[in-house]
Amino acid sequence: MVESQESEKVQLSTEQLVEIANSLQQQVNQMDLMIKDLGAKVAQKEVENSQLKAIVQSIRGAAKAEADGGTDEEE
């Protein structure tokens, strides 16, 4: 059984190994760019969400103040 495993082993030349390593490095670089792009998009959405939350809180505060003010005027 050891002999059959050894006969299945493949030896790669230095050039083939360099080519494989370069290909893998290129894939890593592409993934890194994708991750950075997605990170920037997430950051932008977080900014938008913060702005929308501030607007909603402002509207709620104004509506509450108006409702409280309206109650006082009626009394």
Task: Tell me the mean pLDDT per 10 residues along the chain, length 75.
Answer: 64 95 98 98 98 95 84 49
pTM for this entry? 0.59
Residues contacting residue 20 through CB under 8 Å, at least 6 positions apart: 12
pLDDT of amino acid 14: 95
Give the CA angle between residues 50, 52, 54 to the nearest 5°: 70
